[in-house]
Structure 1
Amino acid sequence: MRPLRLKARTHAYLDKRLTGASMDYRKVIALFIPILIDQAFIVGLNLVNTAMISSSGVAAVGAVSSVDSLNIFLINVFVAVATGGTVVVAQYKGSGDESMVAKAAAGTVASVALLSLGIGLAVAALHAPVLQVLFGRASADVLDNARVYLIGSSLSYLGIGIVQAVCGAMRGIGRSRVSLILSLIMNLLYVLLNILFINVLDMGVLGMTIAVNIARYTAALCAIVYILRIDVSLRLRLGQLLRVPWSMLKKIMAIGVPFAAEQMFFNGGKMLTQVFIVSMGTYAIATNAIGGTIALVYQIPAGALSLTLVTVVGQCIGGRNVEDARKFIKSFLWLSTYSFILMTAILLPLFHPMVSLFNPPADIVDDIFWVTLINAIAQIPLWAISFVLPAGLRAAGDARFTSIASMLSMWLFRIALGYVLGIVLGLGIIGVWLAMNCEWGVRGWLFLRRFRGDKWYAKRLV
C-alpha cells in the first residue's frame, strides 16, 4: 500500500505544480529529462577536458581557460540569436500554426549560421590584437598556447553555430531528445579525440583545437541531415537554410538582439574581470578555471530547468495563457533552488576527489575550496532568480528589460566591486567571486520586481 500511496502523492504534487491548461507534467518532464542529460554530459565532458589539458601544465590550463572566456563571449552572441529562434518557434507551436513553425526553424538556422561564420572569420583575422588585450601581461608560454587555441577555436564557430541553431529550433517544438543526441555526438567525439591527441599523441593545446573542429563539424553535418532528411514534419529544403527570411528574422531578432547585447556586455564584463585575474598571476588563472569548472557541475539541474522553461513559457504565451506561464515560472524557480541544495549536499563532501582530477599545485587547493564553498552557498538563494527567472521572462517576449537589467548590474556592480575586493582590498580571486555572487542578488531582485507586474508578457511576437 505504501508504494501506491507514495505514487499517488507524487502524481498529485506534480499535477499541482507542473500541470496547466497548456501542458501537463508528463510533457514537462519529457522536455526536461533529455535537456538534463545533455547538460550533464556537456559539463561532465568539460570537466574531463579541463582535467586532461591540465596534464600539459598550469600554463596550458590558464591559456585554455582565458581563451574560453572569449569563446563563451562570442559563441553566446549567436547562441542568443538561436534562443530568439527557440522563443519564436515555441510561440508559433503554442498558437498551432505549423507552417510558421517550419519557417521560424529555417530562419533560425540560416541566420545563426551566417552570424557564426562572420564572427569566426573576424576573430581568426584579428587574433593578434585580441591576444594583446587579453594576455598583455601573461607569461610567454601562456601566450603561445592561447594563440593556437584562439585561432583553432574561431574556425569551429560555424560548426557549433549550426548545431546550436538546430537544437534551439527543436527545443522550441518540444523535441529536446534531438538536441540531446546532437550534443552527445559532438561532446563524446570531442572527448575521444582529446584522449587521442592530448593523452596518446601528446599534442597539448594543438590537439585540443583539432579535436574541437572535427567534433563540431561532424555534429553540424548530422544536424543538417536530420532537419532535411529525417524530420519530415518540418518539410524543410536545403534552399531554405541558405537564405535569410527577413520578415521572420525581425521576430527572431526582437528576442535575439537584446539577448545577444546582454551576452556581449555580460561576458565582456567577465573578460574584464579575467584581466584582473591575469594580473594576479598564473596560479590565480588556474584557480579561476578549476573553480569555474566545478561550479558548472553544481549548476547542471538548474541550467536544464532554465532551458526547459524557455519552451514551456513560450508555448504558454503562444497559446495566450499567461496564468500557466506565471505558474510554471514559480514552480521552476523553487525546483531550481531545491536542486542546488541537493547538489551541494552531494558534491561538497566530494571536493577533494573532484579537485584532484585537475592535478592542481598544492598552493592553490585551499583557494579553490573557498571559491567552491562560497559559490555553493550563494547559488542556493540567488542563482534561480538571477538566471532561471529571466529565461521565463525572455520566453514571454520581455527581452529588452532582462537584457538591460543584466548589463547594468554586471557593469555597475560586479566589475566595480570585483576590482575593489580583488585588487584594492587584496582579497584576490576570492574577492572577484564574492563580487559575482553579490551581483546575482542585485540582478535577481530586479527580475523579481518585474515578474510581480504585468509588463513582462505585454509584448506579442506572434
Structure 2
Amino acid sequence: MNGFLEKHFSGESMDYRQIFALFLPILIDQAFIVGLNLVNTAMISSSGVGAVSAVNMVDSLNIFLINVFVAVATGGTVVVAQYKGSGNDQMVSRAAAGTVTSVALMALGIGLLIMGLHNPVLHMLFGSASPDVLENARVYLIGSSASYVGIAIVQAVCGALRGIGKTRASLVLSLTMNLIYVVLNVVFINFMQMGVFGMTLAVNIARYVGAFCALYYLFKVDITFHLRVRDLFHISLSMLRKIMFIGLPFAAEQMFFNGGKILTQVFIVSLGTYAIATNAIASSLASMFQVPASALSLTVVTVVGQCIGRENIADARKFIKSFLWLGSCSLAVIGLILMPLFRPLVGIFDPPAEIVNDIFLLLLITTIVQIALWPISFILPSALRAAGDSRFTSLTSMMTMWMFRVVLGYVLGIVMGIGILGVWLAMNCEWGVRGVIFLWRFRGKKWYAHKLI
C-alpha cells in the first residue's frame, strides 16, 4: 500500500501524507454538510409537502446566488495556493485580505438586491406553484438573502485557509457554523413548530456566528497571514485583478450553470408538487453518494495550485490523473454501500408512497452513470482552474449546460413527456459531453500556459 501511494500520490511538490492531510478534513466537512442538508430536508418535511417544495425551490435560487461569490472565493484560493507554492508569504497575506473583502461586498450587494426584488423574482420563476408553496418560499427567500454576508465571510476565510493547506482549521469553522444551524433547526422546527420561518431564523444566526468566529480566527488565532482589521480596507488593485481573473469567469459559469438548473426547476414545478418533492429528495440522496468525490474536487485546487506555483507541471499532471481514478473508485464503492440501503434512507424523508419508485429509478441510473462521468466533469475542471485555465473551463461548462441539460431536459421531460426522468437523463448526458471536452483540454499544453502570479 505504501508503494502504491508513493507511486500515485507523491511527487517533488508534496507526498501522499500531505495530500491526505488536506483531503480528510475536507471530506469530513463535505460529509457533514450533506448530512446536514438531509436532516434539514427531513425536518422541514414534517411541515408538509408544500414546505419541503418551497425550501427546495428557493434553495435552487440560493445555490445560484451563493455560488457567485463562492466562485470569487475560489479565485482567492487559487491565488493563495500559487503564492504559497512559490514561497511568497507576504503576497499570501494580501491575497487572503483581498478575498475576504471582495467576497463580502459582493454578497452584500446580491443580498440587498434579492430582498428588494423578492416578489417579482418568485412570481417570474415559480409563479405556477400553489399559493401555500409561494408564501413559504417568500419567507425563506427573504431570510436566506439576509444571511448571504455571513456565509460569504466564512467561505472566503475557509478558501484562504485551504489555499495554504490548513484544511483542519477550515473544517472547524465550517463545523461550528453548521452545528449551530442543525441544533437551532431542531429547536425552532421540531420543538417550537416554527416551520419555514424557524429554518430562516436558524440559518441567519448560524451564518453570522460563523462569520464572527472566522474573522476572530483570522486576526487573533492564526499568525500565518499576519492580518489586521485595517488590511481588509486596503485592497491592491493588482491583487484584485488576479483574484478576479479566476473568480469572475467561474462566477459567470456558476450564474449560467445554476441559472440553467433554476430553469430546469421551472420545468419541474410545472410537473406538480410531487415532481418537485421527487427531485428534492433524489437530489439530497444523490449528494450523499458524491461526498468523497466532492471533497477531492476541492482538495485538487490546493494540490494543483501549489504545484503550478512551484512550476512543476509533471507533478500537476500526475496528481490530476490520480485524483480522477480515485474519484471514480470512491463513487463506485459508495454506490455499492448505499444503494442496498435505499429504503431506510428514503424513509428519513417520509415521502408519499407514489413517488418512492421514481426516486429509486433516478438514484439508480445516476449512481451507475456518475462513476465514469462525474470525476471528469467536476474534479478535472477544478484542477484546470487551479492552473489558471478558468476562461476555457467556464465557457465549456456554460455552453454544455444550456445546450444539453436545459434544452435536452426540456425536450425529454416536457415535449416528449418523460417527466422528471427525462430531466435527469439530460443532466447525465451533459456530464459526459463536458467531461470529454475537459479530457481533450487536459491532454494538451494550453491549460497550464497561464501566468497568474
- Whether these two folds match at TM > 0.5 is yes
Question: How far, CA to CA, are the matches of 1:135 and 1:202 in structure 2?
Answer: 26
Correspondence for 1:126: 117
* Matching residue within 226, 250, 266 for 1:259: 250
Amino acid at match of 1:410: M
Q: How far did residue 329 of structure 1 move?
A: 0.2
> What SS does structure 2 have at the residue aligned with 1:23?
coil
Residue identity in the other structure for 1:426: G
- AA aligned opposite 1:66: M
Residues 16-50 of structure 1, C-alpha deviation per residue, up to 9 Å, x if partnerless? Answer: 00001000001001000000000000001110000
Aligned residue in 2 for 1:36? 27
Following superposition of structure 1 onto structure 2, how do residues 353-368 of structure 1 map, counting pairs within 5 Å? 353-368=344-359
Within a 5 Å distance, the mapping from 1:328-347 to structure 2 comes to 328-347=319-338
Deviation at 1:240, TM superposition (A): 1.1
In the TM superposition, what are the counterparts of 1:143-154 in structure 2 within 5 Å?
Answer: 143-154=134-145
| 1:413 is aligned to 2:404 | yes
The counterpart of 1:443, out of the listed 424, 431, 434, is 434
Where does structure 1 differ by over 2 angstroms across 4 or more consecutive aligned residues? 242-245
What is the one-letter code of the residue matched to 2:140? Y
Q: Distance in 2 between matches of 1:245 and 1:430?
A: 49
1:135 Cα deviation (Å)? 1.4
Task: Give 3-state SS (helix, strand or coil) of 2:46's partner.
Answer: helix
Matched, 1:95 2:86: yes
Q: 3-state SS of the aligned residue for 1:358?
A: coil
Residue of structure 2 equivalent to 1:425 = 416
- Alpha-carbon displacement from aligned partner over 1:45-81 (angstroms, at most 9, x marks no partner): 1100000000000010100001000000000000000
1:70 counterpart (58, 61, 64): 61
Aligned to 2:239: 248
Residue type of the alignment partner of 1:430: L
State the Cα deviation string for residues 348-396 of structure 1 (Å, max 9, x = none). Answer: 0010101000010001111111111111111101000000000000000
Give the distance between the partners of 2:444 and 2:224, measured in 1 at CA.
38
Distance 2:234 2:277 in 1: 43
Q: Give the Cα–Cα distance (whole angstroms) in 2 for the partners of residues 414 and 297 of structure 1.
A: 21
Shift of 1:416: 1.0
SS of 1:56's partner is coil
RMSD (Å) for aligned C-alpha atoms: 0.6
Which consecutive residues of structure 1, in runs of 5 or more, have no partner in the other structure? Answer: 1-9
**Matched residues in 1 for 2:236 and 2:412: separation?**
48
- Whichever residue aligns with residue 338 of structure 2, its letter is L
- Aligned partner (choices 132, 135, 159) of residue 141 of structure 1: 132
C-alpha separation in 2, matches of 1:423 and 1:417 = 10
What is the TM-score when the length of structure 1 is the normalising length?
0.98
Show CA shifts across 1:86-129 (max 9, x none). 00000000000010001001110011011111111111011011
When normalised by structure 2's length, the TM-score is 0.99
The aligned residue for residue 393 of structure 1 is: 384
CA distance in 1, matches of 2:125, 2:345: 29
Aligned equivalent of 1:457: 448
Which letter maps to 1:163? V
Identical residues among aligned pairs (%): 69
CA–CA separation in structure 1 for the residues paired with 2:232 and 2:43: 37
Q: In 2, distance between residues paired with 1:343 and 1:333?
A: 16
Question: After superposition, where does 1:33-432 map in structure 2 within 5 Å?
Answer: 33-432=24-423
**In 1, distance between residues paired with 2:275 and 2:162?**
38
Alpha-carbon distance in structure 1 between the residues aligned to 2:342 and 2:170: 31
Per the TM alignment, residue 243 of structure 1 is displaced from its structure 2 partner at its CA by 3.9
In structure 2, list runs of 5 or more residues that go unmatched.
none
The Cα of 1:423 is off from its aligned counterpart by 0.6
